[in-house]
């Protein structure tokens, strides 16, 4: 059976997005900068249909994010389009060909028909919570892995429900001082972690943990 991997980038002070998230600045003040280490990478550029780019110690990490992945889960804020009932014209931030290329299950309180995009990405909207989203993602992924790719709440819910096998965090050398903190709202001391790997990137550190299950 494939694993469930939560994958995200945080600031050194543990935020995945800064304060004051708006439609213009969906990652809040300073949040976009968390990802700057990624933009020059060939592995990142290729996934977004661009040529060129660098190969660094971070390259295998970023390539690994999509290796053997059969389905993904994300939160409503990450998909975007504002809160409340859907404006059906909103099809995500990523244009006609999103960089996912697998079924993506979006956690939401508002029903919506599946949204088929180019490049084998289909967004499914799940209103029954994280357990239901995980069950549907497992059905779609078969023996492959499922990744929970953000934001903070989607990963918190997955961790709190005991659904995560591996936690992969890229730590950016920034202090945001506020915003959405990744590791809030989980019963921390009840979650046992084993460090699997730490990789020194260029302006980023990648750490991977296994969630130890009794």
Contact between 171 and a second copy per CB under 8 A: yes
Contact between 201 and a second copy per CB under 8 A: yes
Strands 145-148 and 122-126: unpaired
Nearer to a second copy, 114 or 177 (CB): 177
Token code pair at residue 107: 């956690």
DSSP secondary structure string for all residues of 42-60: HHHHHHTT----B--TTHH
Contact between 186 and a second copy per CB under 8 A: yes
| Cα distance between residue 56 and residue 166, in whole Å | 23
Judged by CB under 8 A, which of 79, 100, 124, 209 binds a second copy?
209
Contact between 30 and a second copy per CB under 8 A: yes
| Cα distance between residue 185 and residue 46, in whole Å | 35
Q: How far is the CB of 18 from a second copy (least distance, A)?
A: 8
Contact between 16 and a second copy per CB under 8 A: no
Contact between 1 and a second copy per CB under 8 A: no
Nearer to a second copy, 142 or 173 (CB): 173
User: CB atoms < 10 A from the CB of 189, how many?
Assistant: 6
Ramachandran category for residue 72: left, alpha or beta (phi over 0 → left; psi -120 to 50 → alpha): beta
Region binding a second copy by CB under 8 A among candidate stretches 10-18, 115-123, 124-132, 146-154: 10-18
Judged by CB under 8 A, which of 3, 25, 26, 29 binds a second copy?
29
- How many whole angstroms from its chain centre is CA 26? 14
- Phi and psi torsions of 9, nearest 5°: -110, 135
- Write out the residues near a second copy by the rule CB under 8 A: 11-14, 18, 29-30, 169, 171, 173-178, 183-184, 186-189, 191, 193-195, 197-201, 203-205, 207, 209
């Amino acid at each position: 059976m494939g694993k469930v991997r939560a994958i995200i980038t945080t600031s050194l002070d543990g935020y995945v997005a800064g304060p004051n998230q708006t439609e213009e600045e969906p990652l809040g003040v300073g949040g976009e900068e968390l990802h700057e280490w990624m933009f020059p990478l060939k592995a990142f550029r290729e996934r977004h249909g661009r040529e060129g780019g660098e190969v660094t110690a971070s390259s295998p990490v970023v390539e690994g994010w999509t290796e053997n992945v059969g389905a993904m889960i994300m939160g409503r804020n990450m998909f975007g389009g504002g809160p409340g009932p859907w404006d059906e014209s909103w099809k995500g931030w990523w244009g006609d060909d999103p960089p996912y290329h697998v079924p993506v299950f979006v956690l939401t309180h508002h029903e919506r028909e599946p949204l088929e995009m180019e490049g084998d990405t289909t967004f499914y909207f799940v209103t029954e919570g994280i357990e239901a989203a995980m069950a549907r993602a497992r059905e779609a992924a078969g023996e492959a892995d499922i990744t929970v790719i953000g934001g903070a709440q989607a990963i918190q819910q997955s961790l709190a429900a005991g659904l995560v096998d591996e936690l992969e965090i890229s730590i950016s050398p920034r202090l945001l001082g506020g915003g959405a903190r990744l590791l809030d709202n989980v019963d921390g001391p009840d979650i046992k972690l084993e460090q699997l790997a730490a990789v020194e990137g260029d302006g980023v550190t990648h750490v991977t943990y296994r969630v130890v299950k009794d």
